[in-house]
A = this chain, B = another copy of it.
């Protein structure tokens, strides 16, 4: 692997960040094109290990959802496009957890959707991870039921420093990325983020062994991860909202409330992207996306809700996004995997 720069980043406990933005010193500086092997802690900082470890007891606000970073990308300037290609995402332990959390989730009173009900019961579920079988095992808490679910590892939280000098808690998704909680952030995907500050200040966290669409109870199958990314940079071209690409799809995201506005943002961006790649008139692109597009929900539980707009690349007639960057990063990732 003499052609690929590979660096490793495994933070010490006190090195984790809990926000995007701010004066924090980078944990790492990399040149575009670098492969980074990184360790991410789970959203509870590894403190919730079983049914007795209630998050409201063992975790301390605001030290939730630690992210690994920031990573300074050399040469990145405001207006540039940061590309983060996910090569591999592997659970770092043989267990994971999920929980209800008071005032968090889509089917409970929250601080925003405020109601007079007492909170739902706080419960922890511990999942066994079986990497051989590529599965995680749900064990009911109030009966003996168990279900084996396939692993589909992903990162809930990936982002850069926000615009306008803002500092945003890592649990919030937005135009800077952050806690989008979409299953599309899996190995094989490339995330494009607009750069707002010199060096971009990328950070990654909140690994999920898998999650349902919307993450309805508020948490996924939360796990520490051993993750490999390739980080690259395109000068200029910053998208207004995070975009994704995998071998089959282009994807736009929107993260805001209410949920229909997150849908609108993502579809609006996808229509514009389609138009610019194909030369189609805006209304023709609107029509094409209307018939060929998908709209998987990311989350309906975080401080902003996330929806993804997704278009098969086959309908674009071969027009490559970002000069084919996804393909080249994909190849570099496969090359890395072959030789590590």
Task: Please list the residues of chain A having a beta carbon within 8 angstroms of any beta carbon in chain B.
Answer: 18-19, 21-23, 61-62, 98, 100, 106-109, 111-118, 120-121, 123, 125, 138, 140-143, 145, 147, 149, 163-169, 210-221, 240, 254, 256-261, 263-265, 267-269, 271, 278-284, 286-297, 300, 305, 307, 315, 317
Closest Cβ–Cβ distance, residue A248 to chain B (whole Å)? 14
Check A216 against B267 for contact (C-beta < 8 Å).
yes
Contact between A112 and B293 (Cβ–Cβ < 8 Å)? Answer: no
- A107-B271, A257-B256, A286-B217 are contacts. A98–B291 as well, Cβ < 8 Å? yes
Please measure, in the bound complex, the distance between the C-alpha atom of A123 and the C-alpha atom of B280, giving whole angstroms.
14
Determine the distance from Cα of A123 to Cα of B286 in the docked complex, in whole angstroms.
Answer: 11
Of the candidates B221, B278, B290, the one whose C-beta lies within 8 Å of that of A215 is B290
CB atoms of B280 and A115 under 8 A apart: no
List the B side residues contacting A217 at CB < 8 Å: 286-287, 289-290
On whether the beta carbons of B165 and A166 are closer than 8 Å, the reply is no
Among residues of B, the one whose C-beta sits closest to the C-beta of A294 is B213
From A170, which residue of chain B is reached at the shortest CB distance? B164
- In the complex, which residues of chain B have a beta carbon less than 8 angstroms from the beta carbon of A256? 112, 257
- Give the residues in chain B near A264, CB-CB below 8 Å: 106-107, 112-115, 300
Q: Is the CB of B98 within 8 A of A290?
A: yes
- CB pair A290–B216 under 8 Å, yes or no, is yes
Task: Say whether A292 contacts B212, CB under 8 Å.
Answer: yes
Please tell me if the beta carbons of B123 and A279 are within 8 angstroms of each other in the complex. no
User: Are A62 and B261 touching (Cβ within 8 A)?
Assistant: no
Determine how close the nearest CB of chain B comes to the CB of A263; give it in whole angstroms. Answer: 5
Residue of B nearest to A288 (CB): B138
Bound-state Cα–Cα, A75 to B219, Å: 38
Q: Shortest distance in angstroms between A174's beta carbon and chain B's nearest beta carbon?
A: 10
Q: Is the CB of B290 within 8 A of A212?
A: yes
Q: Given A147-B317, A258-B258 in contact, is the A296-B296 Cβ separation under 8 Å?
A: yes
Enumerate the 3 nearest inter-chain pairs by beta-carbon distance, A residue then B residue, closest first.
Answer: A142-B281, A62-B164, A114-B268
Q: Which residues of B contact A287 (CB under 8 A)?
A: 98, 100, 123, 125, 138, 140-141, 217
